[in-house]
Structure 1
Amino acid sequence: MQGESSLPQLLWCYAVAATIKVLLIPSYHSTDFEVHRHWLAITHSLPLSHWYYDETSEWTLDYPPFFAYYERFLSIFANLVDPQIVHLHNGLNYKATSVIVFQRLTVILSDLWLLYGVYRLTKHLDSLKRNLIWVLVVWSPGLLLVDHVHFQYNGFLLGWLLLSISFLVEGSDLMGGFLFAVVLSFKHLFAVAAPVYFVYLFRHYCRGGLVRGFGRLSVIGAVVVAVFAAAYGPFFYHEQIQQVVRRMFPFGRGLCHAYWAPNFWVFYIIVDKGLAFFLRKLGFNIQAPAASFTGGLVGDSSSFAVLPQITPLTTFVAVLLGLFPCLIKAWSDPQPQFIARWIAYAYTCGFLFGWHVHEKASLHFVIPLAIVAVESLEDAKHYFLLSIVSCYSLFPLLYEGQEYPIKVLLLLLHSILMWFGFSAQFTKDEASETEEQTNNDESVWSEKSRATSGGKEWFGIGWIGKVYLFGLMVVELWGQILHPYILGETFPFIPLMLMSIYCALGMTYSWIWQLKRFLKLS
């Protein structure tokens, strides 16, 4: 009954967010908007056997088949709205009002799946925690900027992930595994968490003796195979699976994306640049690589002047090494209440050490971490800082002047809402908190470690966190005012570089904090 009574409140939360998104329909959109429009045209105009071969546009289809099927479904309605939307030879950047409104609305409506995922995860929580998670997820400024301005379908995809987590938390491992296989068939970049799923399900679901364990392993294996067969089977039939895989994994794109995602490789790049500079000063003949990392928007750069070259295999090994402590914990103590932490940590590893990481990939761990942010004061402090850093790191995606007030206002409003939400959650009398803990001993969301002071809990980020956030403002002040005033158009890459380096410090801190946290708790 508690979950049912909360549904109207969640729908109201969605309606508020949808209203803002509708107001942003005329705003800037990236090339991803045309990418998805072209995918509508490909899947509507061509037979399935031609989808992954089409090169009518440079925006070739490179998502797994379930997403292609989803585009095919949307194309039915697009054709009814405006046949030109799904015309394959309509040229690039079709910008009619019909296509803008249609595609924007498809993202808004697809967010209902995210809403369902959040609902399932929070329906058993008390109202304060539940409402706070809704604010963190449904009103996420990062999701709004990426999906509803820049343009993508991350909310829809993350809805599948949250649904998977919700079933795992409840102990429904088979359904959780099934849903994860589904999201992998929508977007393969979610595969970073696959080792965590495999180890956890093998130890938690397949336990109970050799015969029973093997039987359960066979069942869950069959479920996963069935999902992949539904996704990839038609392409096996047409002997196109190699082409599909080739499109999904274009390793030739380089180590870094167009803008330096704030991860470990930022530091590697800076060290390489610094070494090259000093060695040249010492008289060494150090040649800069043809594709420079400091050309503004980096593109396909992946060459280094001094340090060893980084290959996709290198990043794959780095991600696995980062995951190793998490896999050990999932193997030794596979408890459902920690699965959200482990999955978020896996995506953090993928973000920090992965190949050609998009800055938008931070949503893969920021959204799941919202679920555990309400469990303890320490989790709340960490999430407060991480959410701000993640959102700020997305600012370069919206580089036009008219969107600047929007992204700043969204981040400020979200920070204020988080502050008041966490303060309401953790500024409580110790007695009432103890009573609540006693009443929730059976809940998987219970958190036994509480920070108290003078009989109360207080939400605050400490002086180090405050200094770091002040540094964010300094970086933004430099990029928006001081750099143009002092240097003009000279060294145009410096503002982006500083933003990436500074946000990378925050992301690296989050990775270390998450690692220490789950090692301590589990």
Structure 2
Amino acid sequence: MLLEIIFIVTAVKAFFMPLYRSTDFEVHRNWLAVTHNLTLEQWYHDNTSEWTLDYPPFFAWLEFALSHVAKIFDPEMVKIENLNYASDMTVLFQRLSVIVLDIVYIYGAFRCTKNIANGNLLVFLLLITNPGLIMVDHIHFQYNGFLFGILLLSISNMLSNNYLYSAFWFAVLLNFKHIFLYMAPVYVVHLLRAYCFTVSSTDGVHTPWYSFSVTNLFKLATTVIFVFCLSFGPFIDQLPQVFSRLFPFKRGLCHAYWAPNFWALYNFADKILQHFSTKLGIPVVVQEAAMTGGLVQEYRHAVLPTITPAVTFVLTAAAMAPALVKLWYLGADRRYRGGSFLRCLTLCATCAFMFGWHVHEKAILMILIPLSFLSVLGITDARLYMFMSVVGHYSLFPLLYPKNLLPIKIFILLTHLSIVFSYLPSLYEPKTKTSRRRGFLVLPKLKASDSLYLYGLIGLCIYENVLHTFLGLDKTLPFLPLMMTSVYCALGVFYFWVRQYIYFLTFNLSSVPTLTTSTNTKSVYEKKET
């Protein structure tokens, strides 16, 4: 069955080859050319194209390796001067490269599910059919599947208590794409707690005292430092230039397409206040189409205080702190370390998504991927995943803006949701019992208010794709649908974040299912919510 699932999903990806491609397609083609033709010292200095190399060194080496295969398909694609080059063979190669590298993701998903006692096939299915990855990688064009595959390898080793291997793979991941730094605090706390503080107790479970292992800390530090030296060592003489490419803080608080986070709500509030201030005759500094003009740029808010990178870092760290403290506390019991690590990883990824600087909308996948594992651990986890799988994946729809892609986006999402809403509820309770107690319009296992919010996405979709043009607003307010999607989905993500945080901080550890036990047990918090 696993092979059948992999074959079907891969076939679907192959059908998407001739579809719309974003500018990221040219970005990666240019990186092939840069790494293939220039010396190491020039990789992070070349500016022939506006799409300069801004990923860590391991990814640059990946592009270098791919470029030698690319020139077999079409030598013209690896010429630096051939900007915006997209021959049929170029498209074929780049699309195939994403599909082939997805093998790492498939293997990582398989390795992770081996650590799950109940619902492992369902988790594998949820990971492989993730609509966000399919839309972002195989239509929009990126290599997120490969990167998340490395993350899954790290997670699988963590769940198996192979801490050094887990640290190794996460360090490798950071040197492929540094956005995963948002997850680093969780790794630091968990590895120190589980690996460097050896547990001593009479029953092997409860921890009356700790002894710190300097040897384990040395092994851990050596592993991580080795990976970073291997990555940045060849660029030791140009580290300032490399870091200036990796951390371009002048790109502004938000991406051109607002990620559905706290700053989308903040920007929207500023827009509303700006409008009413103008109506009331209160003088404000007005930037035409600021934050909604489709450009990546620095800007100042008109009424609310302008946010700096330092503010976002402080807010993100403050948001993560209680979760990290709870993770340290939960590490006292070996039985619950795996589930606690996954919950905290998801929660801190959400904190970074909510309050980070220049967050891309695609970063929602950093929440959805680990959340897939939690969906089989308890009824509350399942509810959170069911809700977030709709909101998070729908928030990616504007990435694929051509109108002819609308049926494909809806098909991909509904196919995944049919799996989610058919099989997750039945994992906890037979459908016959559920259907007798709930209204027709209330989604399985979800509250009526949650269902009402999700149905609102249908109305939003109809407005964006039909009514906005029908009302003639596409000329005067072209970015209104995009702003509506970001703001409405931001409300859902914020709601999810609050519920997830409350659950993580208040659940009863002794009654929460672990990765290796049945999912039928309910915690005290879950019983109250039910």
Deviation at 1:212, TM superposition (A): 5.2
Residue 110 of structure 1 is aligned with which of 101, 104, 116? 101
Deviates more, 1:22-31 or 1:339-348: 339-348
TM-score by length of 2: 0.88
Deviates more, 1:383-392 or 1:23-32: 383-392
Equivalent residue letter for 1:82: D
Structure 2 equivalent of residue 87 of structure 1: 79
Deviation at 1:43, TM superposition (A): 0.8
Structure 2 equivalent of residue 69 of structure 1: 61
Contact 2:137 2:144 (8 Å CA) reproduced: yes
Deviation at 1:480, TM superposition (A): 1.2
Contact 1:255 1:355 (8 Å CA) reproduced: yes
Deviates more, 1:270-279 or 1:243-252: 270-279
Equivalent residue letter for 1:482: L
Equivalent residue letter for 1:515: Y
Residue 274 of structure 1 is aligned with which of 262, 272, 275? 272
Residue 264 of structure 1 is aligned with which of 240, 262, 281? 262
Structure 2 equivalent of residue 440 of structure 1: none
Structure 2 equivalent of residue 177 of structure 1: 167
Contact 2:339 2:374 (8 Å CA) reproduced: no
C-alpha distance in structure 2 between counterparts of 1:416 and 1:301, whole Å: 41
Equivalent residue letter for 2:314: V
Structure 2 equivalent of residue 58 of structure 1: 50
Q: Deviations over 1:480-499 (max 9, x none)?
A: 11121224322122111111
Matched, 1:423 2:425: yes
Q: Deviations over 1:413-439 (max 9, x none)?
A: 211121112133222499xxxxxxxxx
Contact 2:425 2:431 (8 Å CA) reproduced: no
Structure 1 equivalent of residue 2 of structure 2: 10
Structure 1 equivalent of residue 216 of structure 2: 216
Deviation at 1:299, TM superposition (A): 2.5
C-alpha distance in structure 1 between counterparts of 2:289 and 2:401, whole Å: 23
C-alpha distance in structure 1 between counterparts of 2:271 and 2:447, whole Å: 34
Structure 2 equivalent of residue 318 of structure 1: 315
Matched, 1:305 2:307: no
C-alpha distance in structure 1 between counterparts of 2:431 and 2:488, whole Å: 37
Contact 1:78 1:85 (8 Å CA) reproduced: yes
Structure 1 equivalent of residue 526 of structure 2: none
Distance 1:211 1:411, change over 3 A: closer
Equivalent residue letter for 1:242: P
Deviation at 1:290, TM superposition (A): 5.9
C-alpha distance in structure 1 between counterparts of 2:114 and 2:324, whole Å: 29
Deviation at 1:506, TM superposition (A): 0.9
Deviates more, 1:207-216 or 1:97-106: 207-216
C-alpha distance in structure 1 between counterparts of 2:391 and 2:466, whole Å: 20
Contact 1:251 1:312 (8 Å CA) reproduced: yes
Residue 39 of structure 1 is aligned with which of 12, 31, 47? 31
TM-score by length of 1: 0.89
Give the secondary-structure state (helix, strand or coil) at the position aligned to 2:198. Answer: coil
Contact 2:197 2:211 (8 Å CA) reproduced: no
Give the secondary-structure state (helix, strand or coil) at the position aligned to 2:272. Answer: helix
Structure 2 equivalent of residue 192 of structure 1: 182
Contact 1:114 1:156 (8 Å CA) reproduced: yes
Structure 1 equivalent of residue 512 of structure 2: none
C-alpha distance in structure 1 between counterparts of 2:72 and 2:391, whole Å: 41
Give the secondary-structure state (helix, strand or coil) at the position aligned to 2:419. Answer: helix
Q: Deviations over 1:459-502 (max 9, x none)?
A: 42121122111111111111111121224322122111111111
Structure 1 equivalent of residue 141 of structure 2: 151
Equivalent residue letter for 2:252: G
Contact 1:291 1:303 (8 Å CA) reproduced: no
CA RMSD between the two structures: 2.0
C-alpha distance in structure 1 between counterparts of 2:502 and 2:172, whole Å: 31
Equivalent residue letter for 1:503: C
- Segments of 5+ residues of structure 1 without an aligned counterpart are 1-8, 431-452
Q: How many residues align structurally?
A: 485
Give the secondary-structure state (helix, strand or coil) at the position aligned to 1:375. Answer: coil
Residue 385 of structure 2 is aligned with which of 383, 392, 398? 383
C-alpha distance in structure 1 between counterparts of 2:405 and 2:479, whole Å: 20
Contact 1:260 1:298 (8 Å CA) reproduced: no
C-alpha distance in structure 1 between counterparts of 2:299 and 2:396, whole Å: 22
Q: Deviations over 1:260-284 (max 9, x none)?
A: 1100001111221222222222222
Equivalent residue letter for 1:271: A
C-alpha distance in structure 1 between counterparts of 2:213 and 2:147, whole Å: 31
C-alpha distance in structure 2 between counterparts of 1:336 and 1:475, whole Å: 38
Deviation at 1:178, TM superposition (A): 1.2
C-alpha distance in structure 2 between counterparts of 1:198 and 1:160, whole Å: 17
C-alpha distance in structure 2 between counterparts of 1:279 and 1:156, whole Å: 48
Equivalent residue letter for 1:504: A
Identity score, percent: 44
Q: Deviations over 1:226-280 (max 9, x none)?
A: 00001000001xx111111000001111111011110000111122122222222
Contact 2:115 2:156 (8 Å CA) reproduced: no
Deviation at 1:204, TM superposition (A): 1.4
Contact 1:256 1:298 (8 Å CA) reproduced: no
Deviation at 1:211, TM superposition (A): 7.8
C-alpha distance in structure 2 between counterparts of 1:12 and 1:313, whole Å: 48
Give the secondary-structure state (helix, strand or coil) at the position aligned to 1:53. Answer: coil
Structure 2 equivalent of residue 447 of structure 1: none
C-alpha distance in structure 2 between counterparts of 1:112 and 1:325, whole Å: 36
C-alpha distance in structure 2 between counterparts of 1:476 and 1:460, whole Å: 24
Q: Deviations over 1:96-117 (max 9, x none)?
A: 1101011111111111111111
C-alpha distance in structure 2 between counterparts of 1:223 and 1:116, whole Å: 23
Deviates more, 1:277-286 or 1:310-319: 277-286
Give the secondary-structure state (helix, strand or coil) at the position aligned to 1:240. Answer: helix
- Segments of 5+ residues of structure 2 without an aligned counterpart are 200-209, 332-336, 510-530
Give the secondary-structure state (helix, strand or coil) at the position aligned to 1:405. Answer: helix
Contact 1:256 1:302 (8 Å CA) reproduced: no
Distance 1:29 1:429, change over 3 A: closer
> Any residues of structure 2 matched to 1:458-477 within 5 Å, and which?
459-477=444-462
Distance 1:463 1:153, change over 3 A: same
Structure 1 equivalent of residue 481 of structure 2: 495
